[in-house]
Structure 1
Amino acid sequence: MAQPRKPASRGSRRGRKPTSCTQCHLRKQKCDRNQPCNRCLQRGVAHLCGDSINSNGGFKHSQSPQVVSIAPPSPSPRPRRVTQPPMSPSLGTLFANRGARAFYGSSYFGHQVASRILSEEGQDLPAGISRGRDTLQSFRDESSSFAQVWDLLGLLPRQKSTVDRLVNIFLAEVNWSLDAVHEATFRSSYDEFWGRRFGFDDLANVDLRWLGLLFIILAFGVLLDSPPHPTLDVQREREEASLRFYWAARRAIVIAPSFYGESTDIVRAGLLVTRYLLYTRRVSESWLTIGFASRMAQAQGMHVDGERWRMTRKATEQRRRLWSHIYTIDRMISLALGRPYAINNQFCLTHEPENVWLDDMDDEEANRAVPQPLSLPTPSVLSSLLYRLAQVVGKIQEKCFGMERASYEAVLQLDANLVRWSEQLPPYFRLDNPDTAADDALPFLPWHRLYLHTSFHFARIVLHRPFLLRESITDRFRTSHEACMSSALADLKIRLRTMNSTNADSLRWAFGAHNLFNSAMILGIIAVKNPHSAQAGAILEDLEAYCENLHQDPWLNEFGMAELKVVELCISKAKDSRYTSMTAYPSGTPPEPPGPRIQAVDGSGRMRPSDLESPAMSSDMSSIYWPTVWEDGQFTFPGAADFSTWEQMITGIAEDNYGGQ
């Protein structure tokens, strides 16, 4: 019979006994067993150095982490006071965010920026944060969070001269037209980044928020640095390099909040990432990135005017312009996709930017600067006028494309607001015959004019598009027909005038709102619906010229090719209808078909619920009455790559309207 085991003595332990102090034992590092040990002295946590195991199997320290002092007796007894050790941070103290001003103040629940703590010489360090040679080892450890910094730095070109060239070409060719970054501030951070020490220098000195901004600038710089007529291999190489920098920027701005607080750098980086997606026509993705940028801006209090934070006038104007850009793109993308926008006006207390440019002044000069009249343009005028237009765009989405359908009278009222905005434009930004005398002296004016005009045409077409195919005996929808026609023709004229230019011009051109929609598709559908109208011949000629220019564009991506294919389909359908009419009827106008299909509308011009069948509700797409579906406020264009749906829709419109008007 086996003898029962004797219980082990209370003080005995089996297996290996730790020979390190508590701190080295937690980090699995070799300890010299001094009191305090050398590693704890290097980390600045000598007060925490102690034996890892005591006789009871627990931890003990050589020094007490707290010093307790009791006041001497007095007539009114005082409570016991506990004093924190000098090396321990006091409760509720926020370490300074690197250039980030949090609008919620110095709350204990705010950011604890570990990287800033590491970069400060002589800063009191909490337990567990090391400095020195062990820091470099932890950075290179794949399990360390700072390994992300190593990976991102490895994506930069090896030669600084390459980075210099790409940054310089972006600042010289594109930055001034977008108000993307303040060049002097960016170059100061750029010099600081390349001037940092290497070797055992802490990687916490690398600001990932600014690094994300650098990467997205490099993504644009690669495209700008391409030859005018690249070969297929060179083009593919440039596109792949640009995408690598783009993804590095996305990665940096997502990781950055884990290391730091917010800053304007991460907001500008998110805004440029959104513009990059608009350039590549990935509109659905841009809806996500502009939401991120708006959240980062709100976290810094940009939704409240800088005057309420008692900021300097220069900083206030910079924040106003940055917020207006975010607000405008948020409204435009949401209207294009039919999705909710990220910024709620009810929680914003902002002012539009003034017509004054303070970026090149110091604070004292900025305080004395006087806003210019609107007749003397500055780069700030664009953000101010776009901000006003975006407010109208937000009302369009709320009233016409929300959960309830708006009456046609509401649509006409919103159109009047758009027209009123256009009538208040200064002479150099007029929609018709603008004054171009100052274009040579102010190079930003032509591009700002293009951004304003295309934004207006985009908003007006989207507003009236549900009524483009709607007919009425009293011709009550004539305003929508004419609005869509005029804005689509004006936008196509801008496209034909500004295409086939340099890389920089093409890139600046792609930042306009016309990349949110395609006016050529609208004109193609108009030509299919009215192939025998007086304007149909001229429209088809312009569309053919547009398609020819696109075929010659070496940078046309798959999204542009899909839109080109749809436009060519519209041209083909319209020409077939015109040819059939001319051969079958010598007079050129076929008779009205018997028993035309009448669209059912109520007294307010709204479709009856029974006639509003959504495309998603029908399993047989060929049975859809496309003009009726088009009139549904919830209906948006199919994706350009969904060619089969486009073909069914255009064919249905052509068959329903066969016979001319």
Structure 2
Amino acid sequence: MNMEGFKVIKARARARKRGRKTTSCSQCHIRKQKCNQEIPCSRCIQRGVPELCQWPADERDIGIGSHEKVPATADTQGTELGQLYIARGAPTFFGNSYFGHQVAARMIHESAPELPPMSLLSTQDSLQSFRNDSGPFSQVWDLLGLLPRNKVTVDRLIERFLTEINWAIDTVHPETFRSQFEEFWGRKFGFDEIAGVDLRWLALLFIILAFSVLLDAPTTSPEKRKESEEASLRFYWASRRAIVIAPSFHGESLDLVRAGLMVTRYLLYTRQIAESWLTVSFAMRMAQAQGMHIDGEKWGLSKKATEVRRRLWGNLYMLDKTIALALGRPYAVSDHMCLIHPPENIWLDDLTGAQSEVTCAQPLTRPTPSTVTLLGIGLARIAGEIQDRCFGLYPASYDVVIEMDEKLVAWKKQLPSYFALDDTDFSLDASNTFLPWHRLYVHSAFHFARITLHRPYLLRESITNRFRLSHEACISSASSDLKIRLESLGYGIAGSMRWTLGTHNMFNSALILGIIAVRRPKAPQTTAILDDLEQYCERLRKDVRLNEFGLAEVKVVELCIARTKGFARNANQSGQEAQPEPLNIMPGILSHENILEENRHARMATGGMSLEPTTLCASPDHPSGYSPDMMWPAIWEDQNFAFPQAADLETWEQMISEIAYHE
């Protein structure tokens, strides 16, 4: 060997780095899979993520096997920024960053120019190993053990949900979900395939199965029905577990947001509204993490993708605002921090991308499955304003209440004829199967918002009859809503579930009517109110699907009925208005010390709300004394007061007894 050849070999040895030569793309390298070294490789194409198939910058630009570095420029660094989530397997909605492809990388680089590109920070040492017990492999393995072993069973449950529930509440695209399930079930058994299971999609599958098991539950056998309820709860908890841990390993996705939305609906279906406040907030944060609070047009998304995101955000927005209003708790979304348009009156899910771009929105005279979300967002925005102005930190004047009622009435008047609350047009129901259910959602949501707005003024009296609007609004909306609920009890299993998957599945209307009857047992309308309430409770008790939360609500309404009938019976016997009979409370005039003690219990019952003793001690009829029927009316009229849990029957018993009014 001559000297010149020796120098060439020596130069190559100096250029070669220690360690093995990279022979796999980043995705195959993480999963320890063999790669055919194409871009995209066959493995990434098989997994359906060709956009994630990448090679290190030095090997991609110079050639596989070469380890010579390319000098970093501002442009090459900019393309590397925002790659951390891609390396973790989280598909972004656009570009290489959660918040857009145009400015995010530049902002990150300008704010911290000394940091290396984010893709270089996401080395294998920084990623959770799938073989680690604390990694996603063990989590997926545990969750997969909860699925039925028979594919026919799972197919039947999925089809039950898609054909009977999905089309009414806009959960998933049926064909897409079916193909995803076939791909999921057709995976090969082994480490590599299990490691590729997406926990985010698995969370959505579990919550769909939780609903399907309830749909499939037999109504004749109590034992079988209980087994179905327990199986449903197992799927529900599996979904919640997957929702919590998935962002740690995969990041967020639309499937994860859909799963969070359906978990919230599950809690509303089972009447656990306080718990639903937590889950809808979590789902909203996952949506915000993907930039869904910014309209898809701003991101340059396709028309079809934009409409899908608008509807999903709209459904979350409605639940967030109405649940917060029902509980008197803060909502998760501030309107001034969002830049998103309501969905158009158009349905693009079954069209191709090219067809979607040339399809125009329909006028409101022609309903589509998107119409209910388009109109519901407007009502939810008013509900959020009611929360801010009438139930905020500072008391609102009655003029503000009147102003918000005018906004509700204006919203009602602009409804199309097929959604109208008065003189409804039912002619389009036959050709639009979703329309009757969406009409129920719109009507009940309106009644709920109006009852909540006027509820603090239901018990207030005025010589000038100033609060007449609130009295009439409460009884009108409560009566109309109770009529809807009485009709819904005959819908059957699937119909009942379609009807109850929203914030309208609360017993505000029955409760308000019960309080009206207790407050005015001899009023002309009280007899009719009691007849409707008795029928409502009787039919609910016969419902085999009634759980302990629903049963607690029935007991509260029955308590109102019993108290009202007791007043009326005593009045007829004595020939005059009967004094209210206390229920498990001490009657008589209380001393100042007793007042303070009762005030302390009242604060505990209402979540720490402060009541001044002077508020409870004086009234036009009793200027210097105190009687038990004065405390709860004062609490009721406080705008920060929210109803106790239905299961707290003792508090309800005391409240109903003390609200009773005698002329």
Matched, 1:275 2:270: no
Deviation at 1:39, TM superposition (A): 14
Change (3 A) 1:105 1:424: closer
Q: 2:309 & 2:478 partners in 1: Cα distance?
A: 34
Matched, 1:158 2:155: no
Secondary structure class of the residue paired with 1:436: coil
Asked if the contact 2:98/2:290 (under 8 Å) is kept, the reply is yes
Q: What letter corresponds to residue 211 of structure 2 in structure 1?
A: F
> Could you report, residue by residue, the CA deviation over 1:172-200 in whole angstroms, capped at 9, with x for unpaired residues?
00000001111122122112211222224
Secondary structure class of the residue paired with 2:504: helix
**For 1:420-431, what aligned pairs fall within 5 Å after superposition?**
420-431=410-421
> Could you report, residue by residue, the CA deviation over 1:544-585 in whole angstroms, capped at 9, with x for unpaired residues?
000100110111111111111111110011111111111211
**For 1:471-490, what aligned pairs fall within 5 Å after superposition?**
471-490=461-480
240, 243, 258: which one aligns with 1:253: 243
Larger radius of gyration: 1
96, 103, 107: which one aligns with 2:98: 103
**For 1:303-382, what aligned pairs fall within 5 Å after superposition?**
303-382=293-372
Q: What letter corresponds to residue 643 of structure 1 in structure 2?
A: L
The equivalent of 1:285 in structure 2 is 275
534, 538, 543: which one aligns with 2:524: 534
Change (3 A) 1:643 1:262: same
Q: What letter corresponds to residue 268 of structure 2 in structure 1?
A: L
Deviation at 1:589, TM superposition (A): 6.3
Change (3 A) 1:500 1:337: same
Deviation at 1:90, TM superposition (A): 7.0
Q: 1:264 & 1:144 partners in 2: Cα distance?
A: 22
Paired residue total: 548
Asked if the contact 1:208/1:256 (under 8 Å) is kept, the reply is yes
Q: 1:625 & 1:327 partners in 2: Cα distance?
A: 36
Q: 2:215 & 2:381 partners in 1: Cα distance?
A: 33
Change (3 A) 1:634 1:90: closer
Asked if the contact 2:412/2:420 (under 8 Å) is kept, the reply is yes
**For 1:188-207, what aligned pairs fall within 5 Å after superposition?**
188-207=179-198
The equivalent of 2:624 in structure 1 is none
Matched, 1:658 2:630: no
Q: What letter corresponds to residue 658 of structure 1 in structure 2?
A: H
Aligned Cα RMSD in Å? 3.3
Q: 1:39 & 1:422 partners in 2: Cα distance?
A: 65
Matched, 1:581 2:581: no
Q: What letter corresponds to residue 103 of structure 1 in structure 2?
A: Y
The equivalent of 2:650 in structure 1 is 644
Change (3 A) 1:575 1:148: same
Q: 1:456 & 1:648 partners in 2: Cα distance?
A: 30
215, 228, 233: which one aligns with 1:224: 215
Secondary structure class of the residue paired with 1:625: helix
Structure 2 runs not aligned, ≥5 long: 1-17, 31-55, 59-68, 74-78, 109-121, 580-598, 617-626
Q: 1:635 & 1:302 partners in 2: Cα distance?
A: 33
**For 1:61-80, what aligned pairs fall within 5 Å after superposition?**
none
Change (3 A) 1:458 1:40: same
**For 1:227-242, what aligned pairs fall within 5 Å after superposition?**
227=218, 229-242=219-232
Asked if the contact 1:458/1:517 (under 8 Å) is kept, the reply is no
Change (3 A) 1:546 1:92: closer
Q: 1:341 & 1:147 partners in 2: Cα distance?
A: 35
Asked if the contact 2:319/2:502 (under 8 Å) is kept, the reply is no
Which structure: greater helix fraction?
2
Q: 2:377 & 2:100 partners in 1: Cα distance?
A: 28
Change (3 A) 1:66 1:306: closer
The equivalent of 2:586 in structure 1 is none
Asked if the contact 1:559/1:640 (under 8 Å) is kept, the reply is yes
Deviation at 1:41, TM superposition (A): 11
Q: What letter corresponds to residue 629 of structure 1 in structure 2?
A: I
Matched, 1:630 2:636: yes
Secondary structure class of the residue paired with 1:515: coil
194, 197, 201: which one aligns with 1:210: 201
Q: What letter corresponds to residue 654 of structure 2 in structure 1?
A: Q
Q: What letter corresponds to residue 159 of structure 1 in structure 2?
A: N
Change (3 A) 1:524 1:81: closer
The equivalent of 2:53 in structure 1 is none
Secondary structure class of the residue paired with 1:514: coil
Q: 1:158 & 1:324 partners in 2: Cα distance?
A: 36
The equivalent of 1:406 in structure 2 is 396
Asked if the contact 1:500/1:549 (under 8 Å) is kept, the reply is no
Asked if the contact 2:268/2:276 (under 8 Å) is kept, the reply is yes
The equivalent of 1:435 in structure 2 is 425
Change (3 A) 1:532 1:398: same
Asked if the contact 2:629/2:659 (under 8 Å) is kept, the reply is no
Q: 1:217 & 1:577 partners in 2: Cα distance?
A: 48
- The alignment-based identity, stated in percent, is 54
Deviation at 1:215, TM superposition (A): 0.4
> Could you report, residue by residue, the CA deviation over 1:53-77 in whole angstroms, capped at 9, with x for unpaired residues?
xxxxxxxxxxxx999xxxxxxxxxx
Deviation at 1:201, TM superposition (A): 2.7
The equivalent of 1:120 in structure 2 is none
Q: 2:310 & 2:29 partners in 1: Cα distance?
A: 44
Change (3 A) 1:103 1:546: same
Matched, 1:497 2:503: no
- Judge which range, 164-173 or 253-262, deviates more: 253-262
Secondary structure class of the residue paired with 1:537: helix
Matched, 1:299 2:283: no
Deviation at 1:639, TM superposition (A): 1.1
Q: 1:527 & 1:520 partners in 2: Cα distance?
A: 11
Asked if the contact 1:333/1:516 (under 8 Å) is kept, the reply is no
Deviation at 1:202, TM superposition (A): 3.7
> Could you report, residue by residue, the CA deviation over 1:489-524 in whole angstroms, capped at 9, with x for unpaired residues?
001000111103321011111124332343111101
Asked if the contact 2:284/2:332 (under 8 Å) is kept, the reply is yes
Q: What letter corresponds to residue 296 of structure 1 in structure 2?
A: M
Q: What letter corresponds to residue 355 of structure 2 in structure 1?
A: E
Secondary structure class of the residue paired with 1:516: coil
Q: 1:557 & 1:407 partners in 2: Cα distance?
A: 40
Change (3 A) 1:110 1:637: farther
Secondary structure class of the residue paired with 1:323: helix
Q: 2:267 & 2:255 partners in 1: Cα distance?
A: 18
Deviation at 1:232, TM superposition (A): 1.6
Change (3 A) 1:364 1:405: same
Q: 1:194 & 1:590 partners in 2: Cα distance?
A: 69
**TM-score computed with the length of structure 1 as normaliser:** 0.77
Secondary structure class of the residue paired with 1:352: coil
The equivalent of 1:548 in structure 2 is 538
Change (3 A) 1:443 1:91: closer
Q: 1:572 & 1:91 partners in 2: Cα distance?
A: 68
Q: 1:540 & 1:319 partners in 2: Cα distance?
A: 45
Q: 1:439 & 1:81 partners in 2: Cα distance?
A: 66
Q: What letter corresponds to residue 631 of structure 2 in structure 1?
A: Y
Asked if the contact 2:264/2:276 (under 8 Å) is kept, the reply is yes
Change (3 A) 1:145 1:368: closer
Asked if the contact 1:66/1:82 (under 8 Å) is kept, the reply is no
